[in-house]
Amino acid sequence: MRRKQIVQPSDPAAVATVVMRLYVAGGAPNSVQAIANLEAICQQHLKGNYQLEIVDVFEQPLRALADGVIVTPSLTKLSPLPAAQVVGNLSDQSKVLLALGLQGKTP
């Protein structure tokens, strides 16, 4: 699988667009799962209000290293600050929501 970038246009009227980068290892099972899990979370909790870049570490390993990524899949929230990271296939939704700063907003 060669997925390069999925960029959702953000709503200019909204306050804080969540900017994320997901490092994946090609079409490896946990990576495929991480993409699906994250897309579901974004669709449900962020509506259109996010930017997600998916980076394949087999295509851009140096970029991952420069970003301090050790294992993939690895999700980094770049903004709003503070930055946060979640490693793994993102099956633990509450952990992802916490990292994205969305925990308190969903009862």
Partner 1 sequence: MTTTRPVSKAESAHPEAEVAFAAFIRRLAHDAATLRAIKSGKVDAILDPASGRAILLPEAREALRRGAAPANQILATLPREEYQRLLAAGLEPVTLALGEVLHEPGELIRQIYFPNESLLVSLVTRIQNHGALEIALVGSEGMVGLPVAQGIGTASVRAVAQGTGTALRMEAARFCEALGTCLALQRALHRYTHALIAQITQTAACNRFHQVEARLARWLLMASDRLQSNLIRFTHEWLADLLGVRRVGVTVAASALQQQRLIQYSRGNITILDREGLKASACECYQKIKDIFDCA
**Which residues make up the interface to partner 1 (CB under 8 A)?**
1, 24-33, 35-37, 39-40, 43-44, 57-58, 61-62, 64-65, 69-74, 87-89, 91, 93, 106-107
CB 91 within 8 A of CB 33: yes
CB of 64 to partner 1, least distance (A): 5
Enumerate residues 6+ apart whose C-beta is below 8 A from 57: 23, 24, 25, 64, 69, 72
Specify the residue, 71 or 79, whose C-beta has the smaller distance to partner 1: 71
Taking alpha carbons only, the member of 103, 104, 68 closest to residue 87 is 68
**Paired residues of 22 in beta bridges:** 54, 75
CB of 60 to partner 1, least distance (A): 9
Specify the residue, 18 or 23, whose C-beta has the smaller distance to partner 1: 23
CB of 29 to partner 1, least distance (A): 5
